[in-house]
Structure 1
Amino acid sequence: MNILIIDDEPNIRKTLSMCLESSGHRTKTVSCSKDAISELESEVFDLAFVDLRLGTESGLDLIPSIVSVSPWTKMVVITAFASVETAVEAMKLGASDYLAKPFKPDQVLLIAERVGKIRRMEQKIINLQNDIERLHPSVSYSSSNPSMQKALDLAAEVAGSEAVVMLRGPSGTGKTVLAKAIHSWSKRADKPLAVISCPSLSAELLESELFGHVKGAFTGALRDNPGRIASCEGGTLFLDEIGDLPLHVQPKLLRFLQDREYERVGDHKTRKADVRIIAATNADLEKAVRDGRFREDLYYRLNVIQIDLPPLSERPSDVEKIASDMLSFFGGQNHKMFKGFSEEAMKAMKEYLWPGNIRELRNVVERAAILCKSDTVDLCHLPDFIHVRSSAMRIGDPVSISEIEEQHIRRVLASTKVMQEASGILGIDQATLWRKRKQYGI
Structure 2
Amino acid sequence: MNILLIDDDPGLRKSIRMALETMNHKVTEARDSSEALDNLAHGLFDVAFLDVRLGKERGLDVLPDLLRLTPGLAVVVITAYATIEIAVDAMRRGAIDFLPKPFTPAEIRIVLDRVSRLRRLQSHVEELEERVKSIFPEVDLETDEPSMRQALDLAFRAAPTEATILLRGESGTGKGVVARAIHARSQRSEAPFVTVHCPSLSADLLESEMFGHARGAFTGAVLETLGKVAVAEGGTLFLDEIGDLPPALQPKLLRLLQDKQYERVGEARTRLCNIRILAATNRDLQAAVAAGTFREDLLYRLNVFEIFLPPLRQRRKDLETLIDHLLQFFARQNGKGIKGFTAEARAAVMKYPWPGNVRELRNAIERGVILATSPEVGLAELPAQIGAERPQPVMEVGGAMTLEQLESAHIQRVLENGSSLEEASEILGIDPSTLYRKRKRYGF
Same fold (TM over 0.5): yes
Deviates more, 1:189-198 or 1:335-344: 335-344
For 1:241, the equivalent position in structure 2 comes to: 241
CA deviation digits over 1:25-75, x for unaligned, max 9?
Answer: xxxxxxxxxxxxxxxxxxxxxxxxxxxxxxxxxxxxxxxxxxxxxxxxxxx
| Secondary structure of the structure 1 residue equivalent to 2:387 | helix
The answer to whether the Cα contact below 8 Å between 1:123 and 1:190 also exists between their aligned partners in 2 is no
Deviation at 1:111, TM superposition (A): 3.2
The answer to whether the Cα contact below 8 Å between 1:144 and 1:317 also exists between their aligned partners in 2 is yes
CA distance in structure 1 between the partners assigned to 2:189 and 2:126 by the alignment: 10
For 2:318, the equivalent position in structure 1 comes to: 318
Number of aligned residues: 310
Q: Structure 2: which amino acid aligns with 1:275? A: I
For 1:205, the equivalent position in structure 2 comes to: 205
For 1:359, the equivalent position in structure 2 comes to: 359
TM-score by length of 2: 0.63
Cα separation, partners in 2 of 1:258 and 1:369, compared to 1, 3 Å: same
The answer to whether the Cα contact below 8 Å between 2:77 and 2:95 also exists between their aligned partners in 1 is no
For 2:339, the equivalent position in structure 1 comes to: 339
Does residue 186 (structure 1) correspond to residue 186 (structure 2)? The answer is yes
TM-score by length of 1: 0.63
Does residue 161 (structure 1) correspond to residue 141 (structure 2)? The answer is no
Deviation at 1:100, TM superposition (A): 4.5
Cα separation, partners in 2 of 1:122 and 1:175, compared to 1, 3 Å: farther
Deviation at 1:379, TM superposition (A): 2.1
The answer to whether the Cα contact below 8 Å between 1:188 and 1:234 also exists between their aligned partners in 2 is yes
The answer to whether the Cα contact below 8 Å between 1:352 and 1:389 also exists between their aligned partners in 2 is no
- Return 5+ residue gaps in structure 2 as ranges: 1-51, 53-75, 98-114, 413-439
Deviates more, 1:359-368 or 1:121-130: 121-130
**Moved >4 Å (runs of 4+):** 96-100, 102-110, 115-119, 121-134, 424-427
For 2:148, the equivalent position in structure 1 comes to: 148
For 2:93, the equivalent position in structure 1 comes to: 113
CA deviation digits over 1:208-233, x for unaligned, max 9?
Answer: 01000011111111111100010111
User: Cα RMSD over matched residues?
Assistant: 3.5
Deviation at 1:388, TM superposition (A): 2.3
The answer to whether the Cα contact below 8 Å between 1:137 and 1:329 also exists between their aligned partners in 2 is yes
CA distance in structure 1 between the partners assigned to 2:282 and 2:351 by the alignment: 24
Cα separation, partners in 2 of 1:347 and 1:115, compared to 1, 3 Å: farther
Cα separation, partners in 2 of 1:295 and 1:108, compared to 1, 3 Å: closer
1:394-433 matched pairs, under 5 angstroms: 394-396=393-395
Deviation at 1:105, TM superposition (A): 8.8
The answer to whether the Cα contact below 8 Å between 1:151 and 1:308 also exists between their aligned partners in 2 is yes
The answer to whether the Cα contact below 8 Å between 1:239 and 1:278 also exists between their aligned partners in 2 is yes
Deviation at 1:245, TM superposition (A): 0.5
Cα separation, partners in 2 of 1:273 and 1:125, compared to 1, 3 Å: farther
For 1:377, the equivalent position in structure 2 comes to: 377
Q: Structure 1: which amino acid aligns with 2:293? A: R
Deviation at 1:185, TM superposition (A): 1.2
Deviation at 1:113, TM superposition (A): 3.0
Cα separation, partners in 2 of 1:182 and 1:138, compared to 1, 3 Å: same
Q: Structure 1: which amino acid aligns with 2:207? A: E
1:217-232 matched pairs, under 5 angstroms: 217-232=217-232
CA distance in structure 2 between the partners assigned to 1:296 and 1:123 by the alignment: 45
CA deviation digits over 1:351-383, x for unaligned, max 9?
Answer: 111011111101100100100122221222222
The answer to whether the Cα contact below 8 Å between 1:328 and 1:337 also exists between their aligned partners in 2 is no
Report which of the two structures shows the higher radius of gyration computed on alpha carbons.
2
Q: Structure 2: which amino acid aligns with 1:164? A: T
| Secondary structure of the structure 2 residue equivalent to 1:248 | helix
CA deviation digits over 1:130-150, x for unaligned, max 9?
Answer: 895694211111211111111
- Return 5+ residue gaps in structure 1 as ranges: 1-77, 79-95, 412-423, 428-442
